Amino acid sequence: MEPSFGHADTRAAIVFVDMSGYTALTEAHGDHVAAQFAVDFADMATAALGIDDELIKTMGDAVMVASADAPAALAFLRRLGAAVGRADGFPMLRAGVSAGPVVKRGGDVYGTTVNAAARLAALALPGQVVVCRDVAAFAREVELPIEALGLVSIRNMAEPMELFAVDTAGGHQQHVDPVCRMHVNATSAAATLSRDGRIYRFCSRACADRFDPRAQDATESSNTQ
């Protein structure tokens, strides 16, 4: 769909959203399965577009969308998140949203706002949307849970940005396969392992057999540093 901001230099809300853990998924399940997830994700993103959204490009496990404003961008993410949530076994998403001036040329968009959205997506945790201050104001209006991250220095950007995290995980972080990073419903897990007081759920016996709790502990430790 083509949003109302047309083809001139203007303002927009840029959304970068990708599948968290896509590299781990590829390693665990192979290139063909990973490629199908990427195709399915692009289809879901296209179906979630509203009248004020435009799918700018797909980039493997990620999509870039330009929305007319922050409310449209957040509405798109909520629709996309709901669609992914209904697809059992789909990787969790993470996203970044930045609103401001953009340059639209030849079906693509450019500028600091675009670069910022990409950087924010890279900062997001699974199930999380990292947004700039202007977008956070609209998130509050629609009563999405928000956590202030403070001023954050962004790579290759001159000034720190005031950032906020919108948590869209809905408490499902505990149901992520620790090997391939797929979301696993508690009732449909192919295997379950209890170790040291923790419960791990797996999408397949193959992932359960590959699980190394020592590697999991090391990964979690590095993520908190």
CATH number of the CATH domain containing 149: 3.30.70.1230
Which one of 149, 171, 193 terminates a domain?
171
Residue 88 has pLDDT above 90, yes or no: no
- Whether residue 5 lies inside any domain: the answer is no
* Residue 20 within any structural domain of the chain: yes
121, β-bridge pairs: none
Residue 140 lies in a domain: yes
CB neighbourhood size of 25 (10 A): 25
Residue 58 lies inside a defined structural domain of this protein? yes
Q: Single out the residue of 94, 112, 99, 84 nearest to residue 138, CA to CA.
A: 99
Residues 150 and 181 in one domain: no
Token pair of 214 as six digits: 């020592």
State how far the Cα of 113 lies from the Cα of 98, in Å rounded to an integer: 6
Asked if the model's pLDDT at residue 184 lies above 70, the reply is no
Q: How confident is the model at residue 121 (pLDDT cuts 50, 70, 90)?
A: very high
Domain assignment of residue 187, yes or no: yes
Contact indicator for 180, 24 with CB cutoff of 8 Å: yes
Tokens, residue 175: 């149901």
pLDDT in tens, 126-165: 888 999 998 998 888 877 788 888 888 888 787 888 999 8
Q: Within a domain: residue 110?
A: yes
Q: Are residues 205 and 134 in the same domain?
A: no
Same domain (yes/no): 167, 178: no
Give 9-37 pLDDT, tens digit per residue: 889 999 999 987 777 777 777 888 888 88
Beta bridge partners of 192: 201
21 and 129 share a domain? yes
Query: Which residues have a Cβ under 8 Å from the Cβ of 37 and sit 6 or more positions away?
Result: 19, 22, 25, 61, 90, 91
Q: Do residues 88 and 193 share a domain? A: no
Instruction: Let me know whether 111 and 160 are in one domain.
Output: yes
Q: What is the largest CA-CA distance in the chain?
A: 58
Range of the domain at 143: 10-171
Number of domains making up the chain: 2
**Residue 20 and residue 128 in one domain:** yes
